[in-house]
Structure 1
Amino acid sequence: MKRFFLSLGLAVPVLALAAVGAFAWWANHPLRLNNSPLEVVIKPNSGVASVGRQIQRGGVGMDPRLFMLLVRLTGHGPDLKAGGYEFETGATPLSVIGKLARGEVTHYVVTVIEGWEFRKMRAAVDASPALRHDTRDMSDAELMKAIGAAEAAPEGLFFPDTYLFARGSSDVELYKHAYRAMQRRLNEAWNARAPDLPYKTPYEALVMASIVEKETGQATERPMIAAVFVNRLRKNMMLQTDPTVIYGLGERFDGDLRKRDLQADTPYNTYTRTGLPPTPIALPGLASLAAATTPAPSDALYFVARGDGSSHFSNSLPEHNRAVDKYQRGK
């Protein structure tokens, strides 16, 4: 037994040294790349674990767990920067992390988030130090004219995504790219739409998609949320959706939606007016565009939040009132 523990005591350091050696070899060994050169986009505000996953999904053959370990050992956790990076054959884990830490980007990025209002997109674009800000002093209508858009109101007309650009690029080009992306995505959704929807134009579908985007608690519920609003439109019922009221209040909204707000008539108050609001209320993503144009087959006319992020859907007002009592009033 004594000899066993002595052998074990000698083996543990040897194994540890072997593991350290293997890790050091891996850190300096060329990685497998799906292509060469290979461009990988790292989104802004990504944590170390997220960067590791983005690197792997981008085509770099590196285990995100080993990436995280190496980042911690090198102390570069706080240094990893967003942007578009180019990697070529011969890139090692250490060289990849070094490039990310030094910010050796080939392209810069601006990320536009699903559900943002256009004003938030403008703030994100204006905050990018790598862009040339040709639109900063323009009104929204002037910006739309500058990108060649037919519409004067920009809300909802820019596709939320991560956009790459070279340093010194004009923000006009970024807006053009995002606008054209939304036109393309909207047309695709419109061409694949379900029959007999209560929309006259793709723009009306876009308005609905923006409402679905703001009303959805769980992603899987988007088609059902859309079904409720489509069914209400068909019956000429008011949509009665809070996000449109909030949008209509604009800067007057202080985070607390009151009864008087629901009763104050604006073009966006769907408690006082039937039909869709005049414009979208946010930038909808692909899933909301799909839900608005292919809603779930359902007769539901109401929904209420359960308190866990999901919703209860009802076909009748009495059923809805019972659900409100249960989930909102605690009865």
Structure 2
Amino acid sequence: MAQPVPAVDENIHALVTFGKDGETAWGDDDFIQIIFFSVPESFQESIYLRVFDPDTGGELDEQKGEWNTRTTFSVFGGAGACSNEGARRIVRDGNYKSGTMLASRSFGNDARYDSKWYTFGPFNPGEGELLPEYGGYVFKLVIEGISGDDGNLYRLFLSTDREQNRPVEGAFAFYFKYKFRLHDANNEVSHIYPYMDERVIAIKQSNFDWDNDGVIRVISPSKNGEVMAISGENHWATSTHQITADDINSSLDIQLIKNKKANIKSNNVVIYLENQYGELLPFYSIPIGGIPKYKYNIGIKPKAPVK
């Protein structure tokens, strides 16, 4: 049970969205972030979606020249909020604002919200889109940099309380394309957790603007640190990795390990995952089935990625 995004197990500094006039070399390829929250069908109480530091200006955010960025946070539910293909595409050229808008607000440089929480809601769980395959009623949060060129860094929490972060029992977050800031400290390891169902026989990972900041590797029942391709500044890198029978019905632990010698600061990264059919695979805030461990008795040696 955990609804902070980034989640505790992910060990990620913050989410990031730049204004639409920003430079992609700063680590945001399209200036839009989409986060989904799933609430169990059995949950009956009101819920709130809280945003930490929603404005762009101050200690947490990334400045480029004068603070001139506005960011819109919009909450969607109802039919199509998640099931509409436009909401789950890598290229945000379709109806990614599908569903029914439940709340929306734009923030500029406003000290009232600097390093403070802003709360959307209350929402009735039934206002989400009922998708049992995603665990219940699904809400979508679309974060869009509508002007300016600064980076807005923020964190999220799905709560039962307007004023405090109180977890919604059984709820979780998931995302198909994840944009975040790595920690500055070079001894930190961040994690993301996709789940492999019985349909997956191979995955293709794509990452953007990694800045060659260390390595990305995967731990699973059959993989003991298999290395993934990494990108340089303002570029994409992709690699394909086979999924064995031992990995089915398990999460993967994709580890983002910083370069201990490079001392790279303020590194913003984009990453997504596809299966062998080109379908996007979600990352989950809670690793389904727990954090995976390598099974030493399988005897499979890590293979180099196929580029």
The answer, yes or no, to whether TM exceeds 0.5 is: no
Kindly name which structure, 1 or 2, has the bigger radius of gyration based on alpha carbons.
1
| TM score, norm. by length of structure 2 | 0.24
Which structure's relative contact order is higher, taking Cα pairs within 8 Å and 6+ residues apart? 2
- Structure with bigger helix share is 1
| TM score, norm. by length of structure 1 | 0.23
- Structure with bigger strand share is 2
